[in-house]
Amino acid sequence: MINVADAVDHLLEAPVAPSFTRIGYDLRRRLDHWGEPTPTPLDERVMVVTGATSGLGAATACRLATAGATVVLVGRDAARTERAAEDVAARSDRAPVAPVIADLGELDAVRAAATELRDRFGRLDVLVHNAGALLADRRTTSAGNEATVATQVFGPFLLTSLLLPLLSSGPRPGRVLTMSSGGMYSAGLHVADLEMTAPTYRGTEQYARAKRAQVTLNELWAARVDRSAVVFHAVHPGWADTPGVAEALPTFRTILRPLLRTPDQGADTMVWLAADDGEPLATTGGFWLDRRRRAIHRLGSTRRSDTPARRQELWELVMARTGAEGPPDCGPTAAP
């Protein structure tokens, strides 16, 4: 017998617009009978959220704190991040937790943030990599790295590797969760030209390459780390009305505004993956939209670019560029 929720989900998933807008969210929520994304109290659990000064990160942090988690915000601007931490505390009725200040694109700042997190907290249950932006003009970090890749690929990779021991020392598996994007469906797996050079730079293309790398690395981490220690998931939030979208895609926002998800709706699957002890803990390496695992390729051309050899090259590139010490190398892994 055909399951109605499966059939409707399949019909929604094929064309992008209904799936990514609030139409997809509303239909799936009803058909799959979603419960609360935070089904149990999260007291005692420590969760780190990057990019929580606005948009999806702020919504994620607030929801997790409301369920009882100790949520640590990591942000690059001290005043903005402290204000956000106070706002999360006020909205969740929790005591404020002093934030950690770090620009995720700066590797020294990431190392310092990891040390501070290890020193201040004896445990870490969840690490949410959410910080990110689509940059219209090419920017570089102090080390000369392209800023989109530095902030969304190199910095998170280094932070994960430094916090892995803390994440794996708790009473249940730790979780590393990455806010990727449906934009990555348009990009193949780029390694040698992961960072676009000035003459070829296009913000949307650079963003898509970085988001594709995030999803690939999510699978590579999952293949290399025992799932009883730490699980890894990447999320595609759909299209949500956030300050980031208003800044980077004003025309897109004006046209689609009535259909865009709210930040809470865009953050729902991230919150669920961070808080639910069922499927999110029993599986690893998933790419999720609306609480279901999704394919990481929709186009033959991007699928063909995603070879085991290129995956291995990506792993070696991020290890070299970040100076990270990853888990033991288990050799090349194929796209699932």
Ligand X SMILES: NC(=O)c1ccc[n+]([C@@H]2O[C@H](COP(=O)([O-])OP(=O)(O)OC[C@H]3O[C@@H](n4cnc5c(N)ncnc54)[C@H](OP(=O)(O)O)[C@@H]3O)[C@@H](O)[C@H]2O)c1
Active site residues: 207
Tokens for 154, please give them: 């190199």
Rounded least distance, CB 226 to ligand X, Å: 27
- Give the β-pairing of 286-289 and 292-293: antiparallel
Contacts of 34 (CB under 8 A, 6+ apart): 28, 268, 291
Site string for ligand X, 85-124 (x = CB under 6 A): ------------------xxx-------------------
Rounded least distance, CB 332 to ligand X, Å: 27
Rounded least distance, CB 51 to ligand X, Å: 3
DSSP states of 106-174 as a string?
A: -HHHHHHHHHHHHHH-S---EEEE------SS--B-TTS-BHHHIIIIIHHHHHHHHHHHHHTTSSS-E
Q: Residue 134's CB: how many other CB atoms inside 10 A? A: 19
List the interface residues with ligand X, window 53-72 (CB under 6 A).
53-57
What is the size of the binding site for ligand X (CB under 6 A)? 30
Q: Is 121 exposed, middle or buried, given 0-12, 13-18 or 19+ CB atoms closer than 10 A? A: middle
Give 3-state DSSP helix, strand, coil % of the chain, rounded to 5.
50, 10, 40
Question: Which sign does the torsion angle of CA 206, 237, 130, 128 carry?
Answer: negative
Site string for ligand X, 126-145 (x = CB under 6 A): ----xxxx------------
Among 60, 181, 218, 284, binds ligand X (CB under 6 A): 181
Question: Which window, 37-45, 46-54, 92-100, 185-193, contacts ligand X (CB under 6 A)?
Answer: 46-54
Rounded least distance, CB 26 to ligand X, Å: 16
Rounded least distance, CB 191 to ligand X, Å: 21
Among 51, 174, 285, 326, binds ligand X (CB under 6 A): 51
Picking from 153, 167, 283, the residue whose alpha carbon sits closest to that of residue 215 is: 153
Tokens for 245, please give them: 């979208």
Tokens for 171, please give them: 């009473």
Rounded least distance, CB 56 to ligand X, Å: 4
Site string for ligand X, 239-268 (x = CB under 6 A): xx-xxxx--------------------x--
In the block, which residue shows the tokens 């993956």? 273
Is 135 within 8 Å of 203 (Cβ atoms)?
Answer: yes
Of 46 and 267, which CB lies nearer to ligand X in the complex structure?
A: 267
Is 233 within 8 Å of 273 (Cβ atoms)?
Answer: yes
Is 136 within 8 Å of 248 (Cβ atoms)?
Answer: yes
Q: Using CA atoms, how far apart are residues 119 and 100, in angstroms rounded to an integer?
A: 12
160 binds ligand X, rule: CB under 6 A: no
Q: Which residues bind ligand X (CB under 6 A)?
A: 50-57, 75-77, 80, 103-105, 130-133, 151, 179, 181, 237, 239-240, 242-245, 266
